[in-house]
Amino acid sequence: MIRSKIELVYDARNGIKKGIIYIKVESYNTLKDIVTFNVIDYLIDENGVEQTINQKEVTYPNSTIDAISSYVSQIVDVSQMTKTEKDNTELTHGLLIETQQNPLYNSVANDWELI
């Protein structure tokens, strides 16, 4: 999961709003040569409840996933991690990389962080 470091402006059904935005991969599906991710953008309200502001599916070829995996293993020591921990680490870093390369909500790359 990642989040914005600053409040960002987004368009809600009841007008323009701003807040700290969180992004997570809710689920993913691996097929022969591609992986499809279900990604959710949300806020956490004053009661601690997640409020979804956007949701979409994105698909990447296995070659992109392999490249991200290779990159993450160079910057994070994954050697002592379980497969699940390694997968989650790669997933969150990949999400951060994608969001920094293609900023959302009029943000810039440095507006996002891992959590």
- Tokens 């490249």 belong to which residue? 67
Residue 55: predicted pLDDT: 95
Residue 52: predicted pLDDT: 93
Q: Taking the CB of residue 32, how many other CB atoms lie within 10 A of it?
A: 5
| DSSP letter (8 states) at residue 31 | -
| DSSP letter (8 states) at residue 46 | T
| Backbone angles phi and psi of 101, in degrees to 5 | -80, -25
CA distance 58 to 103: 15
Domain ranges of the chain: 2-107
Express each pLDDT in 52-99 by its tens digit: 999 999 999 999 999 999 999 899 998 899 999 998 999 999 999 999
Express each pLDDT in 6-53 by its tens digit: 999 988 777 888 899 999 999 999 998 999 999 999 998 788 888 999
Q: Can you give the pTM of this predicted structure? A: 0.88
Residue 49: predicted pLDDT: 86
- Residue 75 vs residues 78, 91, 103: alpha-carbon distances, Å: 9, 14, 22
| Amino acid (one-letter) located at 62 | N
Mean pLDDT of 102-114: 94
**Closest residue by Cα to residue 75 from 90, 58, 56:** 90
CA distance 86 to 78: 6
